[in-house]
Structure 1
Amino acid sequence: MTNMALSGHTFPSATLTCPNCQTTITYYDVSGSSYYGCPNCHAFFKYENEGPPEILTTFQPSTATPVLPIGSEGYLNGQFVRVVGLLHKKEAGSFYRWLEYMLLRQDGRYSQLAEYNGHWMVIEPTDHTYSHYHVGGKTYTINTDEGQYWLYNQYKPELLNAVGEFDWNCLEDEKLTISEYIRPPSMLISEQGATDSKWYKARYISRSELATAFGIAKDVLPAPSGVGAIEPADPDDRSGTLLAFTGMLLVAVFVLQVILSIVKPSTQLLKESYQTESDSSGTIKPIITSSFDVDGPTVLAFNLSASLDNQWIELPVTLINEQSGRVYEFSKTLEYYYGVEGGESWSEGSRDDDAVLSRIPSGRYHVNIYPARDLGKPVSFSIGITQNTMLGSNIALLLLLFSIYPISLFVNKQWHESQRWSNSDYSKVYTEEDKS
């Protein structure tokens, strides 16, 4: 009933005949497998020690379409592997269904590939045992050397179909309680039976990595849908690289500011005070400041301040290059009002304001000011001009530009996590709502 042949990088293959429909079944773990699923009639039977085969059950035809046929070879985690079995499962009492591919490794041990909604993970047994802690409500955690894992799902599996070879009775899986703890891109899986438990560790594997491992086109694999239980929000670790890069840019901006402050230090060019005066017709006289030299091209920062007492003043400012006649203009309106109402003091407006003119070329300049104010007493005001001022707005703009992408990554990560946990009956964070 068994014929043996050499096959690929793993163990030699053998064949046996399905006791129900006589279909020839190829298997690879000749000394380890004892249970088999027929791909033709879906009979699941036990056969070992050359004794008569025993049909244990017959599954209904499965609607699942495997993309890695039994016999497919790949290379995962430094081992040649071969697909030797396929399990189609669902959560008991739920519509969630997934596929598990049994992988026979070159070293004779087993791994699994599990696929749900186009998301894949590699599952391997571990000798470690873990204890979980009830934080409160629906929050349970496991502490490991790597960090903390959170309970994400707990269920009993229901077997819909089994094809290929297995070294255990897959029907017994329906007696297990499965608990899945996640720390993306990793998962700890507990299989709790009546008398014992086994632990497994899984990691997320991308379609690209899986396609490379089995030498197939990426498009052959189903496209991911939604957010996977352990799908990383940032699979390429862009946030870590970007954080370092952003830090370097911020340091560069700081160094540049220091260099500019040394090479072209901030210098005050003008600081003068005036008071509005009216001519015989009542028109406020314009004001002409002292002349000053500008070493450009540079940024000029203007500070305007007025002694306002429940009044306003408008200050149109014209900067004039005395050699070329070129002018630069801006206008500022200052207003300040205050009082007491209902026993409480109040105020609005401001007695000072700033303005900036950039790319001012070298030359000798003066400023003309054409004040306008409301009726009342004269207003005293001052004007200050400084060159080579490092613009806070420019620094703020640079910081904003540098932070756009990191912020978008952070927002995407938060959305990713919220979507992930919206598919779970458990919670990563214990809240007061969990008490109810």
Structure 2
Amino acid sequence: MDGRQEPKPENPLTAPAATPAPLRVKTLKCSGCGNSLTLRGMERTESVACEACGSVIDLTDENLRIISTFQSRVRYKPIIPLGSRGKLRGDLFEVIGYLRRAVTVEGVDYEWSEYLLFNPYKGFRWLSEYNGHWNFLKSTNQLPRTKGDGVKYLDKTFLHFQTAESRVVYVLGEFYWKVQAGESCRFSDYIAPPLILSKEQTARETDWSIGEYLEPESLRSAFQLTSPMPARIGVAPNQPSPYAGKTAPLWKLIGYFFLAALFIHLTLFFLAQNKRVFETRFTFEQKDKGKAFVTEVFELSGRPSNVVVRSAAAPLSNYWVYLNMALISEDGRAYDFGREISYYSGTEDGTAWSEGGFSDEATLPAIPAGKYYLRIEPDFPAPRINYQVEVYRDVPKWSFFFMALGALCLLPILLIWRVARFEGKRWAESDHPGTLWKRIPESAPEQEKEKTNPEGKESR
């Protein structure tokens, strides 16, 4: 934070390949209260904060001058105690400093914790924690390139998340710069989950750091902490989406189901009888109104399948006809249904209009094989109606295919809704709420190897 030049680590060519030996430590007495202080960063440490009195001591001064004093009403307790050692990304680090920062937004203070880690061969790293979310950060001197409202870094696009002014409210332990109470910097965060790129500016310089989201339990295991980690609240800026990487496999699976459904439907389509088994014509007059007519007997063969009754009526100009019908088997089983055919037309304000039609059809599903007849009872206001009836057996229907297709679409719709809900929570805390779809970042790999991030100035 605040652009401090990090001391360069020892030549990595001379560093042993095995895990480094325990860090050498040095003790001294606090200039403010006499409390014993332990130094682990050795010559790379420029200041140390006393837990007992809040004094920050300048270690580059031979008289151990007190350069600042934190008069905090709150006694912060680090979740990871100073002196704890843990292996992160294959390297062993020791916690040597604890920093508490705050930012004020619309009159509300938001605070987070930062832990300074040290390895004699790797140098300094940072762990940051806010609302139970953790990031592992390191500095970089490779400057990102501006791209639209984001930046390009290591062939990855990072979208701008927020810009604000932060200040130091509490420190504990060692630091590689002369940290002071109230010191501030302006920072800008850019995200490409699970990565975060931070730019920090002071009057003197600008520094960049790259970080990666860590699962709390992985830290708990790495540092062998016995107490539970704080519960996560909300969605962190670079928290990986639980739905990342699931969209493509889902669409692939849906594609397989679509092809399977299409194959099954086409097979049934070509195997269907689609056979006309009966046809008749009637002429109804007003004297026949209220009377029931029955057709000749016809046979339905094959497996249980649908029966389509198609009907047409004429003349039908500004009239309607309603037919109360029933398909009845020889053993007395009846399938009742009613159909209305109507057609109206005219002219309104010089524009011709029409509605309705001269034909209609009804589908009766899963009718067993056997001998059947139709009973028809007409109702109509016209003086006379000519009526035609056709009965088809085992007619293929596309409606079932489209119903299956609609059911398949429910899964991606649900996934899209969940993605939008998760990303909405993420961006609600940013400088760009309400621009969700434009700002859903591309998914980054779960692991970003440290070797891809060049060494440079430490800014976190």
Contact conserved, 1:313 with 1:374, CA < 8 A, in 2? yes
Match 2:339 to one of 332, 339, 363: 332
Aligned to 2:44: 32
Aligned to 1:223: 231
Greater Cα shift, 298-307 or 110-119: 298-307
Deviations along 1:86-119, one digit per CA (max 9) or x if unpaired, are 1100126761211112223574233222122222
Contact conserved, 2:305 with 2:393, CA < 8 A, in 1? no
Q: Distance in 2 between matches of 1:257 and 1:10?
A: 70
Aligned to 2:5: none
Q: CA deviation at 1:279?
A: 8.3
Q: CA deviation at 1:171?
A: 3.6
Q: CA deviation at 1:160?
A: 0.6
Aligned to 2:259: 251
Aligned to 2:64: 53
Match 1:73 to one of 74, 77, 85: 85
Q: Distance in 2 between matches of 1:275 and 1:340?
A: 32
> Which letter maps to 2:252?
A
Match 2:33 to one of 21, 29, 44: 21
Deviations along 1:246-288, one digit per CA (max 9) or x if unpaired, are 33322222232233334x3352334635234248565455241
SS in 1 for 2:385: coil
Aligned to 1:433: none
Q: CA deviation at 1:172?
A: 9.8
Q: CA deviation at 1:374?
A: 2.5
Greater Cα shift, 276-285 or 76-85: 276-285
Aligned to 2:390: 383
> Which letter maps to 1:36?
V
SS in 2 for 1:153: strand
Unaligned ranges ≥5, structure 1: 1-7, 431-436
Query: Residues 11 and 412 from structure 1, CA distance in 2 versus in 1: closer, same or farther, beyond 3 angstroms?
Result: same
Q: Distance in 2 between matches of 1:350 and 1:106?
A: 87
Query: Residues 342 and 279 from structure 1, CA distance in 2 versus in 1: closer, same or farther, beyond 3 angstroms?
Result: closer
Deviations along 1:92-147, one digit per CA (max 9) or x if unpaired, are 676121111222357423322212222222222234211325x5xxxx22234654
Q: Distance in 2 between matches of 1:83 and 1:304?
A: 85
Map 1:34-433 → 2, pairs under 5 A? 34-48=46-60, 51-61=62-72, 62-91=74-103, 95-105=109-119, 107-133=121-147, 135=148, 140-144=149-153, 146-171=155-180, 174=183, 176-216=185-225, 220-234=228-242, 237-262=245-270, 264-270=271-277, 272=279, 274-278=281-285, 282-288=289-295, 291-307=298-314, 308-322=316-330, 324-387=331-394, 389-392=396-399, 394-426=400-432
Q: CA deviation at 1:387?
A: 0.8
Q: Distance in 1 between matches of 2:367 and 2:426?
A: 55
Contact conserved, 1:36 with 1:165, CA < 8 A, in 2? yes
Q: Distance in 2 between matches of 1:285 and 1:182?
A: 76
Q: Distance in 2 between matches of 1:100 and 1:287?
A: 88
> Which letter maps to 1:268?
K
Aligned to 1:3: none
> Which letter maps to 2:235?
V
Q: Distance in 2 between matches of 1:151 and 1:220?
A: 33
SS in 2 for 1:176: strand
Aligned to 2:3: none
Q: Distance in 1 between matches of 2:212 and 2:416?
A: 23
SS in 1 for 2:42: coil
SS in 1 for 2:144: coil
SS in 2 for 1:378: strand
Q: Distance in 1 between matches of 2:260 and 2:34?
A: 74
Deviations along 1:289-323, one digit per CA (max 9) or x if unpaired, are 5613331132334444444321222233322334x
- TM-score, normalised by the number of residues in structure 2: 0.78
> Which letter maps to 2:210?
K
The alignment's C-alpha RMSD in Å is: 3.2
Q: Distance in 2 between matches of 1:146 and 1:366?
A: 74
Deviations along 1:327-356, one digit per CA (max 9) or x if unpaired, are 323222232222112212223334444433
Contact conserved, 2:326 with 2:375, CA < 8 A, in 1? yes
Contact conserved, 1:284 with 1:372, CA < 8 A, in 2? no
Aligned to 1:4: none
Relative contact order higher in (CA < 8 Å, ≥ 6 apart): 2
Unaligned ranges ≥5, structure 2: 1-18, 437-460
Number of residue pairs aligned between Structure 1 and Structure 2: 413
